[in-house]
Amino acid sequence: MDIFQSIILGVIEGFTEFLPVSSTGHLIVASKFLGLEQNSVNKAFEVIIQFAAILAVILNYKEKFTLQKIILWQKITLAFIPIGAIGFLLSHQVKALFSIKIVAIMFIVGGIVFIIAEKFYNETQNHIQDIEQVSYKQALLIGLAQVFALIPGTSRAGSTILGAMFVGLSRTASAQFSFLLAFPVMCATTGYDILKHYKEFTDLNLITLLIGFIVAFIVAYLTIKLFLKFLEKFTFITFGVYRILFGAILLIWFV
């Protein structure tokens, strides 16, 4: 992997990790276009840039990472349990699902679901604006919705945002809960991948790794802020349309 490739993957990871468009799907497609094999060394690189995205969440929401917010984190932990348990038990089956065709199909399905969800989303209804007001029951339901993210191309952010909207959160609050819920999920997956691929880190070029990390961190940090600004004026229809178009292009191009 050269510096140009590391920058491209860093931008893609940082931009797509917290948007409802599937970062994994985009990284798979980008790697194919860049001629990068899905080998253990490149997987180790992806682990590092995902860690950069985790740090971006911490920096954006540093006031939430205190002991005073213990109740909020109890709810987030509860929401994490379903995907943590099912992902651990069915890890081999999940990996077997990875293919461009499945990613493309799930992009389209997810896009359709977002458009339908927006059609039935009642703007006049009172929605939860503060994520600390989320109940334990709502947190669990959001966590159950997140399980769908185990299907490649579904999008962890997309699943949690839709789940949050369905249980009564505003668009902005749904996105914010999704950001924080990403922390335990990504810590668990990143930690597991580090243990699994630690030998490959010695084969990575330090400069390439550092550049990818910095790019992913900066882009993720800015994306979180810009995404919330976007939701103040717009709906998720744009993401739904994008997912459908992107999925269709993948089916035509690769399948």
What tens digit of pLDDT does each residue of 195-249 get? 776 666 666 678 888 899 999 999 999 999 999 999 988 899 999 999 999 999 8
Domain residues of the chain, as ranges? 3-254
d(C-alpha 148, C-alpha 163), whole Å:
10
pLDDT score at 204: 64
d(C-alpha 125, C-alpha 209), whole Å:
47
In this prediction, residues 133-145 reach a mean pLDDT of 96
What tens digit of pLDDT does each residue of 34-89 get? 888 766 667 777 878 888 988 999 999 999 999 999 999 999 999 999 999 998 88
Whole-model pTM: value is: 0.87
What tens digit of pLDDT does each residue of 99-136 get? 788 889 999 999 999 999 998 888 778 789 999 999 99
CA dihedral 158→56→233→117, nearest 10 degrees, is: 10
